[in-house]
Amino acid sequence: MAWTSRAGKRMVAGVWLALAGGSGAALAGQADVVAVVLGADAVAKGEPVKVATVSVRMPASGVQAGAPLLRLPLVTSNVKTSAEDLRELQARDDKGPLALSYRDDAPGPAPYRRWVAERAVQGPLHVSYAVPIGNVPNPRGAAPPLELRSEGAAFSGATGAFLVLPDHDEPYRLKLDWNLSSLGEGALGVSTLGVGSRLAPAAGPSKGWESVFVMGGQVGREPASPAPDGFFAAWQGQPAFDARALMRWTHQLYDYYLGFFKTPSATYNVFLRSNPINPGGGVEIGNSFVGTFDQHTDVDEFKVTLAHEMVHTFVQPIDGEGLETSWFNEGIAVYYARLLALRAGKISRADFLADLNSTAARYYTNIKNTTPNADIPARFWPDTRVRVLPYDRGALYFAQLNDEIVLASKGKRSLDDLLLAFLDARRGGQPSTQEAWVDAVVREIGEKGRSQFAAMMRGQPIVLRAQAFGPCYRIEEATLRRYELGFTPDVLIQPRRIVQGLVPGSAAEKAGIRNGDEILKPVPQDAIQGDQKALLRLQVGRAGKVMDISYLPRGETVAVPQWVETSTSCVQ
């Protein structure tokens, strides 16, 4: 029943579409090139990388003293970046050393550190610096695995977490080189641009180049070099499971997706790394994805996460504000991950049902499940119960819609037909908005499609028919308990997590938590929320003492639908 977290935030996919299609981007041949070389300080065999090294060469001639020159996010997708930790930052141009100064944007969802030069720049600008890698859990709480992290003589991260780029929005091509000799023989650099030294085929702005994932050093790999269909997987550290076998499984599912979505193959990288906060989660980034694990990762559950992240590559978000439209891409990913994996013969029907039932259980026990869609962005990061809604509600909306299409067409059509036609129209340049989606739904099932959609957006609970997943399954009601942290959830995303709003009579109170206690370590909740039996383990500081407090974070009991097989011989 455990539900692996899939709360990774989508990256700036719109930019990537532009890059992939080339439309709107400058002609690659004429665009400037920003050249990056990534390396690392030497480490003892098998030890983590302590310091990554970065050098960047970029056109900047004529940029005046004090004018915008360089930038790096301070926070990206709720990840605290390395911006405040850069060491030995040096710049030079044709006139020699160039003194830089910086200022930080005011706090907000996406603030930057911005550097300016103290005189005009002449000729290409060379910037170099070192980035310590502390493997410190993100102090801001739940977030995708984008920060620099290292295990076993390899390091990885998203460029937005450590790479200083030009502070402008003009398109350019990114060139990525590696200098990994310090990490021993056989060290390899891989990025979402491909294996080894790569020049991006198309130009894009700095915002897009923040979404390149890189992994360098002594990495595991499968296959040995990129497959003809573009698939390549790399991982750092030593997973407790057979990573090579798991990546062969993923590769086979990838090939199934290529057929289902009728998509031509392209460079496609899978990165795996450990994650002490939200193991089992992942993030889709730059036509590739990052999956995370720890020593307890259940491979069967992890497979569904891998299947989920791969759906994102094939079904990009619809146009609009990321978190407000995430019901679409996250809902589709949850709905199709288990379904396509089942059809491809890559998971069992028991696995399919376990995943479906965990979605249903988390949704129907969620006291916040009537939150209107428009209110999700503001509460997405602070409240796990809101954060999981686009996933759970979106997936059940698509299940309901599929059922309606099957009924309306007497079994001739399904959500597959609607989605594939929608994706086809998008490739043909048709609008890919929420309105376009609703119009397509109405063409399929009539005005009922519009009212069901509006009800979902208002937060009206989704009710599915017992046969919504076909004649092979029926509903059996279960009695489950709501997730209840027991104090104000916003506490957990503060720099200092001081308990407030303790709920009288809650499990937290009974376990001994008090208002004013400091929670000393970040607390993952998304997976715990989906697992009725999972304990919340807090390390608490009070009056100079440190104590461990655990409790079952559950409140009132509610009846929820769960699906079971009607007959083992049922073929779907």
How near is the Cβ of 308 to Zn ion at its closest, in Å?
Answer: 6
Q: Which of residues 438-477 bind Zn ion (CB under 5 A)?
A: none
**Residues 505/488, Cβ–Cβ less than 8 Å:** no
Q: Which of residues 324-343 bind Zn ion (CB under 5 A)?
A: 330, 333
How near is the Cβ of 362 to Zn ion at its closest, in Å?
Answer: 15
| Strand (E) or helix (H) holding 58 | strand 51-58
Stretch that binds Zn ion, among 5-13, 97-105, 187-195, 532-540 (CB under 5 A): 5-13
**Residues 283/144, Cβ–Cβ less than 8 Å:** yes
**Residues 116/65, Cβ–Cβ less than 8 Å:** yes
How near is the Cβ of 486 to Zn ion at its closest, in Å?
Answer: 28
N-term to C-term CA, the chain = 23
Q: Which is nearer to Zn ion, 290 or 347 (CB)?
A: 290
Q: Which is nearer to Zn ion, 6 or 387 (CB)?
A: 6
The helix/strand count (H/E) of the chain reads as 14, 29
**Residues 342/245, Cβ–Cβ less than 8 Å:** no
Q: Which of residues 6-45 bind Zn ion (CB under 5 A)?
A: 6
**Residues 511/535, Cβ–Cβ less than 8 Å:** no
Measuring CA to CA, which residue among 133, 75, 123 is closest to residue 98? 123
How near is the Cβ of 337 to Zn ion at its closest, in Å?
Answer: 9
If one asks whether residue 395 binds Zn ion (CB under 5 A), the answer comes out as no
Q: Which is nearer to Zn ion, 18 or 333 (CB)?
A: 333
Residues whose CB is less than 8 angstroms from the CB of residue 363 and which lie 6 or more positions away in sequence, other chains included: 369, 389, 392, 393, 396, 462
Q: Which of residues 523-542 bind Zn ion (CB under 5 A)?
A: none
Distance from chain centroid for Cα 224: 26
How near is the Cβ of 312 to Zn ion at its closest, in Å?
Answer: 6
Q: Which is nearer to Zn ion, 160 or 166 (CB)?
A: 160
How near is the Cβ of 556 to Zn ion at its closest, in Å?
Answer: 29
Residues whose CB is less than 8 angstroms from the CB of residue 81 and which lie 6 or more positions away in sequence, other chains included: 72, 73, 74, 75, 147, 160, 161, 162
Distance from chain centroid for Cα 159: 14
Strand partners, 52: 40, 131
How near is the Cβ of 232 to Zn ion at its closest, in Å?
Answer: 21
Q: Which is nearer to Zn ion, 6 or 554 (CB)?
A: 6
Q: Which is nearer to Zn ion, 330 or 517 (CB)?
A: 330
How near is the Cβ of 291 to Zn ion at its closest, in Å?
Answer: 11
Q: Which is nearer to Zn ion, 205 or 291 (CB)?
A: 291
**Residues 371/326, Cβ–Cβ less than 8 Å:** no
Q: With CB under 5 A, what is the number of residues at the site for Zn ion?
A: 3
Task: For residues 560 and 548, give the distance between their C-alpha atoms in angstroms, rounded to a whole number.
Answer: 33
How near is the Cβ of 225 to Zn ion at its closest, in Å?
Answer: 28
Q: Which is nearer to Zn ion, 333 or 395 (CB)?
A: 333
As a residue count, the chain comes to: 572
**Residues 234/197, Cβ–Cβ less than 8 Å:** no
Residues whose CB is less than 8 angstroms from the CB of residue 151 and which lie 6 or more positions away in sequence, other chains included: 48, 236, 237, 238, 273, 274
Q: Which is nearer to Zn ion, 154 or 388 (CB)?
A: 388
Structure tokens at 54: 């970065």
Residue nearest to Zn ion (CB): 333
Binding site for Zn ion (CB under 5 A): 6, 330, 333
